[in-house]
Amino acid sequence: MDRRTLILSGMATAGLGACASTSQAQNPSPNGPTYDTGSAATYSADEMIRATSDFLGVTAESAGAAIERIFRERGQPTGYIAGEEGSGAIGVGLRYGRGLLYMKNRPTQETFWQGPSVGWDWGGNASRVFTLCYNLQYPDAIFRRFPGVEGSAYLVGGLGVNYQKADTITLAPIRAGVGLRLGANIGYLAYSRQRNILPF
């Protein structure tokens, strides 16, 4: 085989390889996961009322009262976290939780959270937590610190609600649980991929 034939053969092989790559990019494997990379889809109030009621074990009326108030103030969420947590405080408090983050057309993400608080605060409680996530465009964006003011929490239908915000992302945890905790505090929750014993 002369030099010219060898060069032409190599160019033809490279061209076929490029065409195959382009075809694969345009037609991804039907067996592999395909996740939307655009703006995150949102959840309707009806979807959130059903999910909150089922997960927290409360009536649709109680869930609806809380969801409707949050929707009036924040609109439709792009995701939600369903989980459980425990907390306690004697002036200085700690909170630890674990749950699953759900978003439409995104992979489900296991999520942990922990954080300290300080203030006029006493007691302890164990809760189921249903957290609405606003302006969260992809699951990994949850992994950061979210400051919040527990004293700004309000009760709607027997459920406790407060807001946490970091940059453009806002979280609205809805809590239902047992225990006794009185007072107001300030602090933050750090969301992470794995359990951290130290809450800082």
Sequence-distant (≥ 6) Cβ neighbours of residue 54 within 8 angstroms: none
Instruction: Look at residue 45 in the predicted model and tell me its pLDDT.
Output: 97
Res. 122: pLDDT tops 50: yes
| Bridge partners, 176 (sequence order) | 128
Instruction: Look at residue 8 in the predicted model and tell me its pLDDT.
Output: 42
The CA distance from 51 to 45, in Å, is 10
Weakest mean pLDDT among 14-18, 101-105, 143-147, 180-184: 14-18
Q: Which string of DSSP letters, residue by residue, matches 9-61?
A: HHHHHHHHHHHHHHHHHHS--TTS-----SSPP---HHHHHHHHHHHHT--HH
The CA distance from 186 to 27, in Å, is 51
Predicted TM-score (pTM) of this structure: 0.74
pLDDT tens digits for 140-188?
A: 999 999 987 554 466 676 788 888 999 999 999 998 876 555 555 667 8
Q: Are strands 109-134 and 164-166 parallel, antiparallel or unpaired?
A: unpaired
Q: Which residue matches tokens 């919040």?
A: 148
